[in-house]
Structure 1
Amino acid sequence: MKEKFRNIFWFFGIFAIVVMLFTFDMDYQELLQNLRKAGIWFPAVILLWVFIYLLNALSWYIIIRDGKHAKVPFWKVYKLTISGFALNYATPVGLMGGEPYRIMELTPYVGGSKATSSVILYVMMHIFSHFCFWLASVFLYLAVEPLNAGMAIVLAVVGFCCLVAIYFFMKGYRNGMAVRTLKLLGHLPFVRKWARRFLTEKRETLERVDNQIAELHKQRKSTFYASLGLEFSARIVGCLEVWFILNILTSDVSFLACILIMAFTSLFANLFFFSPMQLGAREGGFALATGGLAIPSAFGIYTGLITRVRELIWIVIGVLLMKVGNGVNKDKEHE
């Protein structure tokens, strides 16, 4: 990637961090007291994400490698994974900064078409694993929690929506989605002209991307399911964060309950995808989820607070990593 483009992403990340710091809805003295209360569990939460991002990076690396020797080193994929998520967390609507950044950084190693297809495939896998996680949590709730009429309706709606989403994702994996997505955008206001022009100019490249997407599911199922398994595992490991934080406040909480809390919170927060860092939605989701499992809602608010601070720290790390290790040998570059 040219340094001027990298600097645009970098300055955007710095700007987002400054805005978040000045809009943090808590007195910093009170925040410091809460972090002291967390004790050793707070560093544990921070370090846990070293492993979670490792699983995310492995999932993407498997797609890039494609059963062959990868032209991009794993440490580079790991770095881009952290920085890409940092940009996404800081961006309203999400997936608006991290994905273009990853594509532009990966292009010199594998070429534009491969970089684009691998990033699209990974984003699809990342979102797909969300729906798999939510659907699995529906069955987990049925197995471990008492059921009333209201919750039965909620679970039925969530389960149905997840099944529909999984069906369309599998259809997209079989046939590709790049061309279909641009055709859909071609009917929407504001982006209609851009989408139609982009589809006309880049149709050959987009069709090549779709072929690569379809090929992963049809011919390399082991790669497909290994990548999905790693992403799903990252979701389960991420539930340890909730367990760590709640153990600051009480020892009367199970890991299965933490899975349910995380599932409901992530579902609730994703309904407010248009908010940078899902401000407010995450805390509200934790409060509702813990309250629904007979855990004091105040515990959920505290969990949301610690999670927010952890997120901010990793955003800073991701933005700083954007300026590290950016050298690429000229003989590896693709135009």
Structure 2
Amino acid sequence: MKNNYRNIFLLIGVIAIVIMLFTFDMKYDELLNNLKRAGFWFPVVVLLWVFIYMINAVSWYMIIHDNKENHVPYLKVYKFTITGFALNYATPFGFMGGEPYRIIELTPYVGVSKATSSVILYVMMHIFAHLCFWFSSIFLFILMYSVNIGTGIILTFAGAFCLFLIYFFIKGYKNGMAVKTLRLCKKIPFLKKWATHFAEEKKEMLERIDSQIAELHKQRKKTFYTTLFLEFTTRILGSLEVFFILKILTPDVNFLTCILIMAFTSLISNIFFFFPMQLGVREGGFAISTGKLALTGAFGIYVGLITRVRELIWIGIGMLLMKVGNKNNIVSNKE
């Protein structure tokens, strides 16, 4: 990737950090006191994401390496993973920052079509694992709590919604999604002209991307299910963050309840994905979910605060990694 492009992505991240620093709903001395209250649990929460990102990188690494020709060093994939997620935290609409960055960085190694298909596949798997996590959490809730009529209706609709999207993603894995996505864009007024031109100009590349997407489900089933398992595992590990933070506030913490809090909060965050950096949404989600699960809403606000600071730290790390280790990139002429 050219340094000019990296500098644009870096600027996005720096702006996000500045905005996050100025949008905390408390004074800095109060914020510092809350971090001191967290004690050793706060560095534990930050370090937890070293391992979560490591598993995310393994999942993407497996998707990339379908043969010996497409060799990308794991540490490069790990680096692109961290920075990609940092950019996703920093930009509205989630995928407007991290995914283009990953494609551009990966292209010199495997070519543009393979880079694009592997990033699309990883994003699909990441979302697919979210859907599986939300769907399985419905049954966990039923096992742990009594369900009245109102709650039953909500859970039924949530389950039906998850099943519909799971079906949609399975269809996408079987047939590819690039061409269909462009067809959908053609129906959107502001994107119609661009989508039509792009679809005609890049027709062969889009078809190649779709064939590579379909290949993962049809011919590489072991990779498909392994990466799904890895991504699902990161959702469970992510619940440890809630568990560690709540341990600061109360000794009576149930890890299964933390899984439900994480599932409910991530669902709310993804519903309001268009909020830049999800400002206020994550904190509100934690407050609502803890309140619904017989915990005080103040606990949820505190969890949201510590999580926001952790995100801020990892955005900073991602931005620093963007400028590190870029001298030995392999230049590829692959399409």
Give the match for residue 111 of structure 2. Answer: 111
- Counterparts of 1:65-84 in structure 2 under 5 Å? 65-66=65-66, 68=68, 70-84=70-84
Rounded to whole Å, the distance in 1 between the matches of 2:250 and 2:332 is 53
Q: Deviations over 1:142-171 (max 9, x none)?
A: 111111111111111110000000000000
Q: Are the counterparts in 2 of residues 108 and 328 from structure 1 also a CA contact under 8 Å? A: no
Q: Indicate yes or no: 2:319 matched with 1:311.
A: no
Q: 1:241 to 1:201 in 2, by over 3 A?
A: same
Q: Are the counterparts in 2 of residues 93 and 276 from structure 1 also a CA contact under 8 Å? A: yes
Letter in 1 for 2:167: Y
Give the match for residue 216 of structure 2. Answer: 216
Letter in 2 for 1:2: K
Letter in 1 for 2:95: L
Give the match for residue 239 of structure 2. Answer: 239
For residue 259 of structure 1, give the secondary structure of its aligned residue in structure 2.
helix
Q: Are the counterparts in 1 of residues 108 and 331 from structure 2 also a CA contact under 8 Å? A: no
Letter in 2 for 1:272: F
Letter in 2 for 1:235: R
Give the match for residue 322 of structure 2. Answer: 322
Rounded to whole Å, the distance in 2 between the matches of 1:155 and 1:129 is 19
Rounded to whole Å, the distance in 1 between the matches of 2:226 and 2:69 is 17
Q: Are the counterparts in 2 of residues 66 and 223 from structure 1 also a CA contact under 8 Å? A: no
- Counterparts of 1:1-335 in structure 2 under 5 Å? 1-66=1-66, 68=68, 70-330=70-330, 332=332, 334=334
Rounded to whole Å, the distance in 1 between the matches of 2:148 and 2:242 is 25
Segment of structure 1 superposing worse, 3-12 or 26-35: 3-12
Segment of structure 1 superposing worse, 261-270 or 68-77: 68-77
Q: 1:170 to 1:89 in 2, by over 3 A?
A: same
**CA-CA distance at 1:23 after TM superposition:** 2.2
Rounded to whole Å, the distance in 2 between the matches of 1:135 and 1:248 is 29
Rounded to whole Å, the distance in 1 between the matches of 2:269 and 2:122 is 21
Q: Are the counterparts in 1 of residues 109 and 331 from structure 2 also a CA contact under 8 Å? A: no
Q: Are the counterparts in 1 of residues 57 and 77 from structure 2 also a CA contact under 8 Å? A: yes
**CA-CA distance at 1:70 after TM superposition:** 4.5
Q: Are the counterparts in 2 of residues 67 and 223 from structure 1 also a CA contact under 8 Å? A: no
Letter in 1 for 2:291: G
Q: 1:329 to 1:82 in 2, by over 3 A?
A: closer
**CA-CA distance at 1:39 after TM superposition:** 0.4
Rounded to whole Å, the distance in 1 between the matches of 2:330 and 2:273 is 39
Q: Deviations over 1:200-251 (max 9, x none)?
A: 1111100000000001100110010111110000000000000000000001
**CA-CA distance at 1:328 after TM superposition:** 3.0
**CA-CA distance at 1:25 after TM superposition:** 2.2
Rounded to whole Å, the distance in 1 between the matches of 2:181 and 2:287 is 36
Q: Deviations over 1:284-307 (max 9, x none)?
A: 111111111111111011001100
Letter in 2 for 1:42: F
Letter in 2 for 1:90: A
Specify every segment of 5 or more residues in structure 2 that has no aligned partner in the other structure, as ranges. Answer: none
RMSD: 1.2
Q: 1:331 to 1:92 in 2, by over 3 A?
A: closer
Rounded to whole Å, the distance in 2 between the matches of 1:191 and 1:331 is 32
**CA-CA distance at 1:17 after TM superposition:** 1.3
Q: 1:287 to 1:9 in 2, by over 3 A?
A: same
Specify every segment of 5 or more residues in structure 1 that has no aligned partner in the other structure, as ranges. Answer: none
**CA-CA distance at 1:329 after TM superposition:** 4.9
Letter in 1 for 2:2: K
**CA-CA distance at 1:3 after TM superposition:** 1.4
Rounded to whole Å, the distance in 2 between the matches of 1:329 and 1:251 is 49
Q: Percent identity?
A: 67
Q: 1:133 to 1:35 in 2, by over 3 A?
A: same
Q: 1:227 to 1:257 in 2, by over 3 A?
A: same
Q: Are the counterparts in 1 of residues 107 and 332 from structure 2 also a CA contact under 8 Å? A: no
Letter in 2 for 1:208: R
Count of residues in correspondence between the two structures: 335
**CA-CA distance at 1:13 after TM superposition:** 1.2
Rounded to whole Å, the distance in 2 between the matches of 1:132 and 1:185 is 27
TM-score by length of 1: 0.98
For residue 261 of structure 1, give the secondary structure of its aligned residue in structure 2.
helix
Q: Deviations over 1:165-201 (max 9, x none)?
A: 0000000000000000000011012111111111111
Q: Are the counterparts in 2 of residues 186 and 192 from structure 1 also a CA contact under 8 Å? A: yes
**CA-CA distance at 1:124 after TM superposition:** 0.4
Q: Are the counterparts in 2 of residues 16 and 90 from structure 1 also a CA contact under 8 Å? A: yes
**CA-CA distance at 1:330 after TM superposition:** 5.0
For residue 190 of structure 2, give the secondary structure of its aligned residue in structure 1.
coil
